[in-house]
Amino acid sequence: MEGVAYTSLFLIGLSYGVTACMLSCMPFLSPILLANSRSVRHAMAVVLPFSIGRVVSYMLMAMLASISMLQVKSVINNPEISQVILGTATMVIAIVMFYGSYKEKPSNCSSSKQTGSKTSIAGYFTMGLAISLNPCAPIMTLIAAAANSSSLSNAAVMGLSFGLGAIGATLLFYGFLISSVAREIVEQFGQHKKNIERIAALLLATVAVSVFNGWLVL
């Protein structure tokens, strides 16, 4: 019986991932990929931590729902929480991107590169975590199912099943298709690469401001 529930939630997550979620992720991932699309590996370095953050968020919501459905509803129905977390993470990534576009690439600054990389990965993860705090019908289905789960671990697996379904399309769409389009743009305008990175950072900063002010509703 639990296997049926996991499969159903996976399919619900999959349908959610190829529709509403695909569009809601676009303002955040597209500018980042425009500046980080030198290869599929670089694109996945963005999309993967973002997607893991989403899965963790679904698991936490499901586990919280198994303890108290009212608590998790109060969290996702309060847009200020997700606005602050998502807006802050997005602005941090925008600043890192903008700062990075002005840096040269000498061989003796590996430590600063690692610091920037760690900051970016944490930012992508946090963005994915916060963007999932969205009271849409598929997520409310997950919460309702988790509220009736037999144990906390069962609820966690429900969130994992839903999350894996939801991120499948995102990994393919952004990790391969959108990143390849971004790579083509950068290759065509290679002499303006730094300017493209700065424009992408400014676009991302605009998205962050829109989230902070509630102008961008997920």
Each residue's pLDDT tens digit, 159-200: 999 999 999 888 888 888 888 887 777 677 767 778 878 888
Tokens coding 110: 């590996």
Q: How confident is the model at residue 52 (pLDDT cuts 50, 70, 90)?
A: very high
Amino acid at 133: L
The domain segmentation of the chain, as residue ranges, is: 2-212
Answer yes or no: are the C-beta atoms of 116 and 100 closer than 8 Å.
yes
Q: Rounded to whole angstroms, what are the CA distances from 187 to 8, 52, 157, 184, 190?
A: 42, 29, 42, 5, 5
Distance of alpha carbon 217 from alpha carbon 119, whole angstroms:
26
Q: Could you read off the pLDDT of 58-83 as tens digits, one per residue?
A: 999 999 888 876 667 676 767 777 88
Phi-psi region of 208 (alpha: psi -120 to 50; beta: other; left: phi over 0): alpha
Q: pLDDT band at 5, cuts 50/70/90?
A: confident
Instruction: Judge contact between 33 and 174, C-beta under 8 A.
Output: yes
CA-CA distances (angstroms) from residue 199 to 31, 98, 204? Answer: 8, 8, 9
